[in-house]
Amino acid sequence: MVDRQLTGMYELLDALEGVIKTSDPAKREELTKTIDAYHNDFPEDFRWAIGAQSPTLLSNLLLAIDWACRSNAQSKSRSVVRLIDRKPEGNA
């Protein structure tokens, strides 16, 4: 039996979001640009990381960081691409 309140994924994500939102706006903007560049350079990797096939923590972590460093006006909706729906290439 646990004698203390367990800290789960959502408590971790809330804490991370709070730190990012209260950090230097210039650093948040730099992180936003880096996330956008990663998305543009490796869209399939990014979509996998926020998609249904990635571990839940990774998906929520990346989305929390992305949302926390943007103002509401900059908020971007990114569609999830399911790699499972892709047609196999070659002899697969």
* Domain ranges within the chain, ordered by starting residue: 24-72
Does the pLDDT of residue 37 top 50, yes or no? yes
Question: Is the entire prediction scored with pTM above 0.85?
Answer: no
How high does pLDDT run on average in the chain?
80
Residue type, 72: N
pLDDT per residue as tens digits for the range 3-20: 889 998 889 888 888 999
- Judge whether residue 48 has pLDDT over 70: yes
Q: Please give the average per-residue pLDDT across 47-67, as a whole number.
A: 83
**At 28, is the pLDDT very low, low, confident or very high (cuts 50, 70, 90)?**
very high
pLDDT of residue 82 exceeding 80: no
Asked if 51 and 83 count as a contact pair (C-beta separation under 8 A), the reply is yes
| pLDDT value, residue 81 | 43
Cα of 20 vs its chain's centroid, Å: 13
